[in-house]
């Protein structure tokens, strides 16, 4: 584990070193780096902004939006996905509408959010919710439909009702698939919330990054990009850690575990087909006993 962490840290350090070299020497080989800020420029700008209150206020606003929209999407996606997978009536009534809406990018709903909600804050949360809702919905639907029917039949045989089946079979069995949808949904949510803040926001990391671009403050733009990347990485890691804790009951893969050491035969024994035997002879199956016929006296 320590070696893997060192390797990951070395990877990040190598990427930063390459960035510093390309921007310091203004490398221009088809890709143009002469206008890019150096790592030191971005670090100085980041330190200056981190010392003020505006940076942390923007960060808190973006986190509030992403957490609110993502939690709502997680609850609604699991509930609707389970209902569609378990009920033909719900699948026929709700499924076609959702399938028509699903291909529409969440960021394309910005005009709808502006017209529909009374404030930009509610509109941005709605866009974040929409971005995460469909990945969770689809993963939940497929996970529930893939459950073996014998599990439900076993619970019903023992007298379990519909809610017992839902709580003991459906939700625990579909949990790994649901967690996959949550991991995808949190990443898509960050893409859409930042885009929504750039288009219609009044504060937040995305809004501040766009404002820096309009005034040609490229170090500030990269500070915003680095902040977005770190926030996305932290929230995705939090979802994965939560998923591992919720699925501790699942068997773990033994791919990385070393094979057990071979047991050595004791001294004085030689291996045979059925294991070690006495020294100088090979152990094998015991010879069959020949029955002795008793002769009756005449």
Average pLDDT over residues 82-104: 91
pLDDT winner (highest mean) among 3-7, 167-171, 247-251: 3-7
Classify residue 275 as left (phi > 0), alpha (psi -120 to 50) or beta: left
Average pLDDT over residues 37-58: 91
Average pLDDT over residues 30-58: 90
Rounded to the nearest integer, the mean pLDDT of the chain is: 82
256 pLDDT band (50/70/90 cuts)? very low
294 pLDDT band (50/70/90 cuts)? very low
Please give the pLDDT value at position 26: 84
Structure tokens at 228: 């977005």
Count the neighbouring beta carbons within 10 Å of the beta carbon of residue 30. Answer: 4
Q: What is the pTM of this model?
A: 0.75
Average pLDDT over residues 177-194: 90
Please give the pLDDT value at position 289: 52
Count the neighbouring beta carbons within 10 Å of the beta carbon of residue 179. Answer: 20
163 pLDDT band (50/70/90 cuts)? confident
As a whole number of angstroms, the longest Cα–Cα distance in the chain is 125
Least confident of 43-47, 196-200, 283-287: 283-287
What is the pairing mode between strands 31-32 and 277-278? Answer: unpaired
* C-alpha distance from residue 250 to each of 11, 73, 173 (Å): 32, 25, 10
Q: How many CA atoms lie within 13 A of 64 on its CB side?
A: 10
Q: For 169, which DSSP code?
A: I
64 pLDDT band (50/70/90 cuts)? very high
Q: Which three-class secondary structure state does DSSP give residue 31? A: strand
pLDDT value at 134 more than 90: yes
Cα separation, 194 vs 192, whole angstroms:
5
Average pLDDT over residues 137-145: 92
Q: What percent of the chain has pLDDT over 90?
A: 37
β-pair partners for 270 = 277
Classify residue 255 as left (phi > 0), alpha (psi -120 to 50) or beta: alpha
Tens-digit pLDDT profile for residues 188-199: 999 888 888 888
pLDDT value at 76 more than 90: yes
Structure tokens at 130: 């929409």
Count the neighbouring beta carbons within 10 Å of the beta carbon of residue 19. Answer: 17
Average pLDDT over residues 201-224: 89
What is the pairing mode between strands 269-270 and 277-278? Answer: antiparallel
Average pLDDT over residues 141-163: 82
Average pLDDT over residues 25-36: 85
Please give the pLDDT value at position 154: 80
| Contacts of residue 208, Cβ cutoff 8 Å, sequence gap at least 6 | 54, 55, 58, 220, 224
1 pLDDT band (50/70/90 cuts)? low
| Contacts of residue 271, Cβ cutoff 8 Å, sequence gap at least 6 | 265, 282, 283
Extended strands (E) in the chain: 28-29, 31-32, 269-270, 277-278
């Amino acid at each position: 584990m320590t070696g893997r962490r060192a390797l990951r840290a070395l990877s990040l350090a190598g990427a930063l070193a390459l960035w510093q070299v390309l921007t310091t020497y203004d490398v221009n080989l088809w890709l143009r780096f002469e206008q890019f800020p150096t790592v030191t420029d971005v670090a100085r700008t980041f330190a200056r902004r981190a010392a003020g209150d505006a940076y942390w206020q923007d960060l808190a606003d973006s986190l509030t939006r992403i957490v609110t929209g993502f939690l709502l999407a997680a609850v609604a996606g699991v509930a609707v996905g389970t209902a569609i997978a378990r009920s033909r009536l719900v699948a026929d009534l709700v499924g076609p509408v959702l399938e028509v809406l699903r291909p529409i990018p969440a960021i394309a709903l910005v005009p709808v959010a502006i017209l529909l909600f009374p404030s930009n804050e509610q509109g941005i949360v709605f866009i974040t919710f929409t971005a995460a809702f469909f990945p969770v919905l689809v993963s939940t639907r497929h996970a529930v439909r893939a459950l073996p029917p014998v599990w439900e039949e076993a619970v019903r045989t023992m007298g379990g009702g519909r809610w017992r089946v839902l709580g003991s079979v459906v939700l625990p069995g579909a949990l790994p698939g649901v967690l996959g949808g949550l991991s995808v949904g949190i990443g898509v949510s960050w893409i859409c919330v930042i885009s929504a803040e750039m288009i219609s926001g009044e504060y937040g990391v995305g809004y501040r990054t766009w404002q820096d671009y309009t005034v040609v403050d490229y170090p500030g733009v990269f500070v915003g990009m680095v902040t977005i990347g770190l926030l996305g990485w932290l929230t995705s890691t939090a979802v994965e850690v939560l998923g591992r804790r919720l699925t501790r009951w699942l068997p773990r893969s033994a791919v990385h575990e070393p094979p057990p050491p071979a047991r050595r035969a004791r001294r004085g024994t030689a291996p045979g087909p059925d294991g070690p035997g006495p020294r100088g002879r090979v152990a094998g199956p015991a010879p069959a006993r020949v029955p002795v016929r008793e002769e009756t006296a005449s």
